Amino acid sequence: MNLFVANICRTVREEALSGLFSKFGQVSSVKIINDKLTGASKGFGFVEMASDAEGNEAIQKLSNAEFFGRNLVVSKARPKPSF
């Protein structure tokens, strides 16, 4: 299951986010989105969990959970729109 994670502290690295989500199951991939010009974090990203059950548990446990001083927003990622 692919999860959308927002309100990530801009100093958080992918390894830290992976460690947080791995408490709820196998993490397949983590991608924090960075600004193309500055390389700075945009404060959101995507975490892919191995199964829907693990993803749903992570959503329930981590939505509004404090991480590096910020309350995370975690939801199921929506497909990228095609034009």
pTM: 0.92
Cα–Cα distance for residue pair 41/49, rounded to 1 Å: 21
Half-sphere exposure of 52 (CA within 13 A, CB side): 0
Per-domain residue ranges of the chain: 2-76
Model confidence at 81, pLDDT cuts 50, 70, 90, reads confident
What is the tens place of the pLDDT at every residue in 42-78? 999 999 999 999 999 999 999 999 999 999 999 999 9
Backbone conformation region of residue 19, classed left if phi is above 0, alpha if psi is from -120 to 50, else beta: alpha
Q: Which CATH superfamily is domain 2-76 in?
A: RRM (RNA recognition motif) domain (3.30.70.330)
